[in-house]
Amino acid sequence: MGKIKQRFLFLILIFSLGLVNCLPSNSIGATLFLDPGNSGFKNKKIYDNWEFLGLIGDYISLPDGDYNLIFNIPRSYKLYTKISIKGDEVKVIEHKSRPEYGVTTYKVDWPKPLAKRHAKLKGVVSLTFSPVKFGRKTGVSPMISACMAGCTKRKVILRVSSKPEDAEIWIDDEKQKFTTNTTLSLPYCTYEKTKRLVLRIPQRVNYIYDIKLSPNKKIEVICELKKPSE
């Protein structure tokens, strides 16, 4: 009876710490290899609706659903690729390029990214990006002004452990100086609700987690970064 009580208390303790385990769940639809091909986009930061996912050249696991992959390219342009994942089927629904605000615009030719099964790695789908060709100048995109906002800082305490150790820690899209395993004080502005945590080791599947922000909350992330074919 005493042992059961101890285990029950241990479970309560784990949940109160906000322990997060990143072992793969059933909701994962596909493991994507973001293949730079000959595009020259290797190691560019890539986002899903501006939520950081990793770098081009990484492996990422995503649950079923639609995703709007975005990354920046030279000449102040962004490339958008809308994909749909269902099981291990990946379809490219839409792709387009867009200039940033207040920059010179060009006629842009960007072939549709290609989604196909990885030749060597079982269960992995390659999304191969093609290079962009810039044509003649077409004008200037409209300008908008950025606004500045003050910010009151709060923190969460984030314990990050990974297997293997020494994984890069990315918070939102910024690479931290620290690697796993470590305990971080993570500041945030009070208006922010979540922050995106990405753990990354090249040639392994990125771990992606949205940290729910609450003052002085202790969060423990324990994660195994697997090889794409595992």
Partner 1 sequence: MKSNNSYSIAITIAVSIISIVVIGMIFYENYISDIGAGIYLEDGKLSDAQKESIKITLDLLKTLMTWVIGVIGATAFFLKLNAEGALSIRPIDLMISFAIIILSTVSLYLGHLTVEKIAILLSLDQYPIDNEKVRQIGRFQYLTGLSSVALFGLHVFQFFWARLIFPQKNGNLKEEV
When asked if residue 182 is in the footprint of partner 1 (CB under 8 A), the reply is yes
* Binding span for partner 1 by CB under 8 A among 62-70, 72-80, 103-111, 174-182: 174-182
Q: Judge contact between 117 and 225, C-beta under 8 A.
A: no
Answer yes or no whether residue 158 interacts with partner 1 by CB under 8 A. Answer: yes
SS3 220: strand
Contact 76, 100 (CB under 8 A): yes
State yes or no: residue 186 binds partner 1 (CB under 8 A): yes
Assess 161 for contact with partner 1 (CB under 8 A): no
Does 157 bind partner 1 (CB under 8 A)? Our answer is: yes
- By CB under 8 A, which span of 22-30, 34-42, 80-88, 166-174 interacts with partner 1? 166-174
* Alpha-carbon gap, residue 34 to 42, rounded angstroms: 9
Please say which residue, 42 or 155, places its beta carbon nearer to partner 1: 155
| CB of residue 51 to partner 1, shortest distance in Å | 17
- According to the binding rule CB under 8 A, does residue 74 interact with partner 1? no
* Binding-site member from 171, 199, 205, 208 for partner 1 (CB under 8 A): 171
Measured between alpha carbons, how far is residue 17 from residues 61, 79, 99, 121, 145 in Å?
Answer: 26, 39, 44, 37, 41
Interacting residues with partner 1 between 91 and 150 (CB under 8 A):
148
CA distances to 19, 104, 167, 196 from 181, rounded to whole Å, are 15, 45, 8, 18
C-beta closer to partner 1: residue 104 or 214: 214
Q: Select the residue interacting with partner 1 from 68, 76, 176, 181 (CB under 8 A).
A: 176
**Nearest distance from residue 159's CB to partner 1, in Å?**
8
Nearer to partner 1 (CB atom), residue 5 or residue 153: 153
Distance of alpha carbon 129 from alpha carbon 47, whole angstroms: 15
Q: Where does this chain bind partner 1 (CB under 8 A)?
A: 148, 153, 155, 157-158, 169, 171, 174, 176-178, 182-187
